[in-house]
Amino acid sequence: MSEGKTYVEDVNRAFYDFRFEEKDSFRVQSGLTREIIEQISAEKGDPAWMRDFRLRSLEIFHATDMPLWGPSIEGLDMDNIVTYVRPNTERMHTKWEDVPEDIKDTFERLGIPKSERESLAGVGAQYDSELVYHNVRKEVAEQGVVYTDLESAMHGEYGEMIREHFMKLVPPTDHKFAALHGAVWSGGSFVYVPPGASVEIPLQSYFRLNAAGAGQFEHTLIIVDKGAKLHFIEGCSAPKYNVANLHAGCVELYVGENASLRYSTIENWSKNMYNLNTKRARVEKGGRIEWVSGSFGSHVSYLYPMSVLAGEGAACEFTGVTFAGEGQDLDTGCKIVHGAPDTTSHVNTRSISKSGGVSTFRSAVVVTEKAEGSKSSVSCQSLMLDPISRSDTIPAMDVRTSKADIGHEARIGRISDEAVFYLMSRGLSEEDAKALIVSGFAENVSKELPLEYAVEMNNLIRIEMKGAIG
Amino acid sequence: MGAELLRVEDLEVSVGEKEILHGVDLTIGRGETHVIMGPNGAGKSTLAGALMGDPEYTVTSGRIFFDGEELQELAVNERARRGLFLSFQNPVEVPGISLENFVRSALEQRTGKKIRIWEFRKQVRKVLETLQMDRSYAERDLNVGFSGGEKKKAEILQMLLLSPTLAILDETDSGLDVDAVRTVSEGIREFQKDRSASLLIITHNAAILNSLEVDAVHILADGRIAASGGKELIPVIEREGFAEYETSQREEAGA
């Protein structure tokens, strides 16, 4: 890494917790009715097909039951969630100077423009329901790479491509919150990387939810065409409120033949957030999807990025870390479908729980009859920092061919007193000693991240470890 | 004899319900090197652990003074900050931080001063050379995948860089081959060059002591200091072993 990279130093809890007066220009009433959906659709200027899609999704939403198999979401009352909040700006900007002061200040504090200058190929910034900024470096645009918001792309030359792919991987019938997303989605990014193009530095979208009691439903659609290559980073945060906020985003990733996509996320929603996010990738012959996922925030999370290995030799690598502290119930993991011969998947996760936090690792590996010669390895390790915290591992495997090589390994442990003593004997405080051990435990993820994000993740661990001693 | 640095008074230490040390007295002066020898199970590591504050050991009676201050109430890191160092028999592997970065941050924590990376790196390289360790060890995660011998050398490296006022070496020579013992001994001699630094070397093997200055030798047997003397005790132990001290101890107990 070159000198002079961005370092996110001295983060404290207040780092993410600042908030601004809600100066939005328009918001719908809370709750979910046909009128509200029509209002959102009109406000956004949807094409007709999209308006119909929203209304159909709303019907599915009302006809589908709440999930009953995971952490409790009783505290989430859909009648109280405001599904659309337009920030106080007329349109999306391509220069930070044009973004309204308080919104710009938010992203400045989160270090986004600085990262953009120093280490990113393009940036998208969403504030509540709409993108307020999108820009991509000239060199990247010249390769034919499209990186913009979904709304404007829908009306332009990629309209048909979007219509062909939008919610085809995650249909509204998938589950109740996928249906909700289909009805009220707003914002997010559209990325198209043409055949053979290689984006060497990452693109990043940052999602910030400022309004209390609101929902964020951004849609990320990425198409990496044959032989192309992309690294996309997603970051999210919100200030803490006493009312429930909801995040039900949707990510659809299409990885073409021999293409490769790395999708990294550092999620640090505030602890009143219900994070019910759906992410899915379809990988064609010889293609590769790499997920890097850090889950630190939210009150409740349901997050299981899914990879469908549809073409021969397609590969998936999933690396994740989840940190559940006080009042958090984080149910995370992944799903992989081996649907073609010689496909491979490697899953490597760490979960940490402390101060009564609950961390559950849930995975499903499905190997179909067609997937002869496939290989899968799942390894999950958990660390519990005190006796009141909880960690569960629920790995499921459904293997339909005998000609596959499948492995699974799980370990649950506690911080060793010996290691803490060793580090303290060199002068580290108990807190620093434990933070160091936890950072080391989570290193599988941090080493996969660009340097500044790795630093941020270690800072998050440090914040989470504060007060962990007792 | 130098000014008093460490004074242990009638120290009794237990592990769980079992008392291991039955009243140890020991005084070490500034700049002195003391050696503790004794058979397996005599309580040597217990003494080292109790001095550093290992939570596994409970001090049930007695007092420890370090540099005029009572240690008992101080957390492990506070003891380190005051200049105490323990070279572990089984150093712990800590992934996620390199040996060099770890020592640098430990030093910064102790001194409260920011250390310049490049100057520190030069210092690290010099110590690596003294210890005949490859430069790459500085970049490797702390003790992760190090051989037994390299772990011990890394402990000595930390000692040399942290420059404590009293370093306790708990069987740093055990499990090392002849060459490694010589190298480690070289490192310790380097440490002794600082005239104010003190050492407490725990061993049951005299080889490591050959080339070192030694001010006092104590025999720890059955949880007590059974005998103390000068370097001349070492060849006697090498010849005759500890049997004499163990028996006399038992007789005393029975008398």
Residue B167 has pLDDT above 90, yes or no: yes
Residue-wise pLDDT tens digits, A303-350: 999 999 999 999 999 999 999 999 999 999 999 999 999 999 999 999
Residue A423 has pLDDT above 70, yes or no: yes
What's the mean pLDDT in B143-172?
96
Between A119 and B62, where is the model more confident?
Answer: B62
Residue A4 has pLDDT above 70, yes or no: no
The owner of tokens 């790196």 is: B121
pLDDT of residue A462: 77
pLDDT band at A90 (very low <50, low <70, confident <90, very high): low
Scan residues 44-63 of A and list those with Cβ closer than 8 Å to B. Answer: none
Which residues in A lie closer than 8 A to residue B103 (C-beta atoms)? Answer: 426
Chain A touched by B66 (CB under 8 Å): no
Contact A421/B54, CB-based, under 8 Å?
yes
Between A238 and B240, where is the model more confident?
Answer: B240
The complex's ipTM?
0.94
What's the mean pLDDT in A350-376?
95
Contact B107/A428, CB-based, under 8 Å?
no
> In the numeric block, which tokens belong to residue B158?
């930390």
Which H or E run contains A307? strand A306-309
The beta-carbon neighbor of B80 closest among A418, A426, A441 is: A426
B129 part of a folded domain = no
What's the mean pLDDT in A77-104?
84
The beta-carbon neighbor of B80 closest among A418, A425, A436 is: A425
Chain B touched by A422 (CB under 8 Å): yes
Residue-wise pLDDT tens digits, B128-141: 999 999 999 999 99
B104 part of a folded domain = no
Residue-wise pLDDT tens digits, A172-223: 999 999 999 999 999 999 999 999 999 988 998 888 888 888 889 999 999 9
B126 part of a folded domain = no
pLDDT of residue A468: 45
| Range among A24-33, B110-119, B133-142 with highest mean pLDDT value | B133-142
B41 part of a folded domain = yes
Contact A421/B55, CB-based, under 8 Å?
yes
How far is B108 from chain A, CA to nearest CA, in Å? 9
> In the numeric block, which tokens belong to residue B98?
């390199």
Going by C-alpha positions, the residue among A336, A402, A343, A339 that lies closest to residue A365 is A336
% chain A with pLDDT above 70: 95
Among A10, A423, A425, A438, most B C-beta atoms within 10 A, so best to mutate, is: A425
The beta-carbon neighbor of B92 closest among A419, A432, A442 is: A419
pTM: 0.81
Residue A1 has pLDDT above 70, yes or no: no
Between A87 and A369, where is the model more confident?
Answer: A369
B14 part of a folded domain = yes
How far is A323 from chain B, CA to nearest CA, in Å? 17
Specify the CATH number for the domain of residue B198. 3.40.50.300
CA dist., res. A154 & res. A332, Å (int): 32
Among A25-39, A116-130, B45-59, B77-91, whose mean pLDDT is lowest? A116-130
Residue-wise pLDDT tens digits, B53-107: 999 999 999 999 999 999 998 999 999 999 999 999 999 999 888 999 999 999 9
pLDDT of residue A15: 66
Residue-wise pLDDT tens digits, A249-279: 999 999 999 999 999 998 888 888 999 999 9
pLDDT of residue B67: 93
pLDDT of residue B196: 86
The beta-carbon neighbor of A423 closest among B54, B94, B110 is: B94
pLDDT of residue A235: 86
pLDDT band at B247 (very low <50, low <70, confident <90, very high): low
B199 part of a folded domain = yes
How far is A444 from chain B, CA to nearest CA, in Å? 9
Chain A touched by B107 (CB under 8 Å): yes
How far is B156 from chain A, CA to nearest CA, in Å? 12
Residue B223 has pLDDT above 90, yes or no: yes
pLDDT of residue A11: 36
Instruction: Give A42: exposed, middle or buried? Use CB within 10 Å, 0-12, 13-18, 19+.
Output: exposed
Chain A touched by B158 (CB under 8 Å): yes
What's the mean pLDDT in B215-237?
93
Residue A464 has pLDDT above 80, yes or no: no
pLDDT band at A378 (very low <50, low <70, confident <90, very high): very high
pLDDT band at A138 (very low <50, low <70, confident <90, very high): confident
Count of the separate structural domains present in chain B: 1
The owner of tokens 């102790």 is: B110
Is residue A104 helix, strand or coil? helix
Chain B touched by A9 (CB under 8 Å): no
Residue A190 Ramachandran class (φ > 0 left, ψ -120 to 50 alpha, else beta): beta
pLDDT band at B204 (very low <50, low <70, confident <90, very high): confident
Contact B96/A419, CB-based, under 8 Å?
no
Among A284-298, A406-420, B22-36, B42-56, whose mean pLDDT is lowest? A406-420
pLDDT of residue A133: 86
The beta-carbon neighbor of A428 closest among B55, B56, B106 is: B106
Residue A99 has pLDDT above 80, yes or no: yes
Contact B95/A443, CB-based, under 8 Å?
yes
Contact A427/B162, CB-based, under 8 Å?
yes
The beta-carbon neighbor of A421 closest among B76, B103, B158 is: B76
B213 part of a folded domain = yes
Contact A442/B96, CB-based, under 8 Å?
yes
Chain A touched by B77 (CB under 8 Å): yes
pLDDT of residue A431: 87
Between B246 and B156, where is the model more confident?
Answer: B156
Going by C-alpha positions, the residue among B141, B144, B146, B168 that lies closest to residue B156 is B168
pLDDT of residue B253: 45
pLDDT of residue A13: 45
Which residues in B lie closer than 8 A to residue A424 (C-beta atoms)? Answer: 53, 75-77, 80
Structural domain boundaries, residue B231: 4-94+165-254
Q: Is A225:A259 a contact under the CB 8 Å cutoff?
A: yes
